Structure 1
Amino acid sequence: MFQAMTAQAANPGGGIFSLIVPLVLMVAIFYFLMIRPQNKKQKQRNAMLSQLKKGDKIVTIGGLHGTIAEITDDVVVLRVNDVTKLTFDRNAISSAVSRETAE
């Protein structure tokens, strides 16, 4: 009986594959629930930033609403009202309001 117990203790649960399968499943779940959606959002944000043009209404990450007066590769000048213009980094733009919605 002692020999049967030591044989079970030496090989419990089927070996290394029983340890690898749950680890692979956790990595797959982590990828599909966290990494893939984040990459999708980042692609959408980069597409939105690349399509900005003069006259678009936008919202910054600080919540400031304005209209693009000038735009370069990495700097955006916003017209907040008739007099005030503010300069922001292009990455500080949170979202763009479509022209049809704004009008």
Structure 2
Amino acid sequence: MIKSLLLQAGSGGAGNYTQFIMLAGMIAIFYFFFIRPQQKKQKDQKKFIEEIKKGDQVVTVGGIHGKVVAVEDTTLTLDVDRGSKLTIEKSSVSLDASKRLTE
């Protein structure tokens, strides 16, 4: 009986290390497959917004397609139809339509 208790106590320590390794592995997988790609996407979006210039074709978050006719500090003016212009925030631009059309 004492021998079986000692064997159970000895194997419990190895189980703790295994659980720790599994937890560390799950955290690493979560970081490399979820957090890191999201950070890269946010970095690329910020860079894209900073590099918008006059003449670019863009799509807003709301789905409005337009050509940039003026760039200010935090806003853009889009020509959405012949003479129809909208002033929007730079942060509401989701992607570059000219690059998407060529791909």
- TM-score band by shorter chain is 0.7 to 0.9
What is the aligned partner in structure 2 of residue 40 from structure 1?
40
Q: For residue 37 of structure 1, report the CA deviation from its aligned partner.
A: 1.2
| C-alpha RMSD over aligned residues | 1.9
Gaps in structure 1 of 5+ consecutive residues? none
SS in 2 for 1:66: strand
SS of residue in 1 equivalent to 2:37: helix
Give the TM-score normalised by the residue count of structure 2. Answer: 0.83
State how far apart, in whole Å, the 1-side matches of 2:13 and 2:20 are: 12
Q: Aligned letter for 1:5?
A: S
Give CA deviations for 1:54-92 in whole Å, capped at 9, x if unaligned: 111100111100011221221111111122111211111
Work out the CA distance in 2 between the residues paired with 1:15 and 1:23: 12
Identity among equivalent pairs (%): 36
Comparing both structures, which one devotes a greater share of its residues to helix?
Answer: 2
Q: Which position in structure 2 is the counterpart of 1:9?
A: 8
TM normalised by structure 1 equals: 0.83
* Counterpart-to-counterpart distance in 1, 2:72 and 2:80: 18
Q: Which amino acid aligns with 1:76?
A: L
Task: Write the distance in 1 (CA, Å) between the matches of 2:5 and 2:74.
Answer: 68
Would you say how many aligned residue pairs link Structure 1 and Structure 2?
100
